[in-house]
Structure 1
């Protein structure tokens, strides 16, 4: 193997590890303030420490992880102000996506959304928070796929790697607030009503986010 091929494979491995860690943040497998060890991650992923360290440093630059020292790497815990800013951005961007999805969704797209809701309902009934978290994230990004807005989706991805751990921390306490408005989103899309779809997803973010908001308020209380 020549040097160029080694570099290409090394870069590709780094991208794969970055994507896996980002997905873990988005899907709630990592919680706020959780400590990460590069060597443990490398062993778990079956790779050397170098691409893992590179991926971790990228996530520190992204604002999803913090590294007070080389031996202290943690999942970032958002402040109340940061949470409110991310929520405000999501309200606008995900509202745009839901409205566009209402105009572009095919019958197959709608069936996919309905299947996600059915599986999420099962997860809720089984008190399976992890599956519910993954389905919640999948639902929101399925709307992105349907809306055919890849640049906006990339922006949302950067927000979700920051907000995912907080959603996971709060999800079980949210109960039906985390799923109920998804039904209204799907109904609005079936009716091809972009304004209703926009309002439904924004209401979902506010309703489901109430637990996160209270958690952040409690953390700042004396």
Structure 2
């Protein structure tokens, strides 16, 4: 006999997870700025869904530390202090270097070519000064690389950290910032991955994290 109650719960959970993924991506690529107030109904209307899965997704993100819940039952993107960012970055350096090292051991010509193509989309967006496209392309490249580590728990931990720092990059969405002037490229990392040099790849990702930190120190934390 078909259990309609459990089926409805499963469908709602699936929808909640879809909403959560959408919100995570918005946080990671800086579409939501620190201090932004999230209105459940507005998100539901934008995503074309009911309020319940949106609220459940928001509560899941609160539990993960990505959002704050206020006494007025509103949800806020947390402000980022330099101390908190520095702590998160220190953890990122360890975890992302681990993922890159593992991915390097799993690399193949096909995987490398896919990474190369994703990196070129990022480079093209940067050269053309298209911040939103660049941030999305950057996310696609990095998480495909980490996926190749074949360590899903590690990838999930890295995603949690990106969700927390991503809103800091909201300032790049403003037209006043010419991202084409930023020397942020993946050439050295790709070269290291192609020759199977895990140590060089790890050093490269470390430098890239430092480069993004330098941008934030100049813009967000200045």
Return the TM-score normalized by structure 1.
0.90
CA distance in 1, matches of 2:118, 2:183: 13
SS where residue 70 of structure 2 aligns?
A: strand
Q: Which has the higher helix share?
A: 1
Aligned residue for 2:209? Answer: 205
What is the aligned counterpart of 1:189 among 184, 190, 193? 193
Residues 127-181 of structure 1 show CA distances to partners (whole Å, capped at 9, x for unaligned) of: 110010011111111111111111100111111111111134357566554632x
Q: Does the 8 Å contact 2:168/2:220 carry over to 1?
A: no
Q: Does the 8 Å contact 2:129/2:179 carry over to 1?
A: no
Q: Does the 8 Å contact 1:80/1:216 carry over to 2?
A: no
Aligned residue for 1:4? Answer: 6
RMSD over equivalenced CA pairs, Å: 1.9
Q: 1:178 to 1:15 in 2, by over 3 A?
A: farther
- For structure 2, the 5+ residue unaligned runs are none
SS where residue 166 of structure 1 aligns?
A: helix
Aligned residue for 1:152? Answer: 154
Q: 1:178 to 1:72 in 2, by over 3 A?
A: farther
Residues 96-118 of structure 1 show CA distances to partners (whole Å, capped at 9, x for unaligned) of: 11122222111111111111222
CA distance in 2, matches of 1:19, 1:217: 28
CA distance in 2, matches of 1:93, 1:37: 33
Aligned residue for 1:139? Answer: 141
Aligned residue for 1:43? Answer: 45
What is the aligned counterpart of 1:86 among 85, 88, 93? 88
Q: Does the 8 Å contact 2:32/2:167 carry over to 1?
A: yes
CA distance in 2, matches of 1:151, 1:118: 28
- For structure 1, the 5+ residue unaligned runs are none
CA distance in 1, matches of 2:91, 2:126: 28
CA distance in 1, matches of 2:32, 2:51: 19
Aligned residue for 1:125? Answer: 127
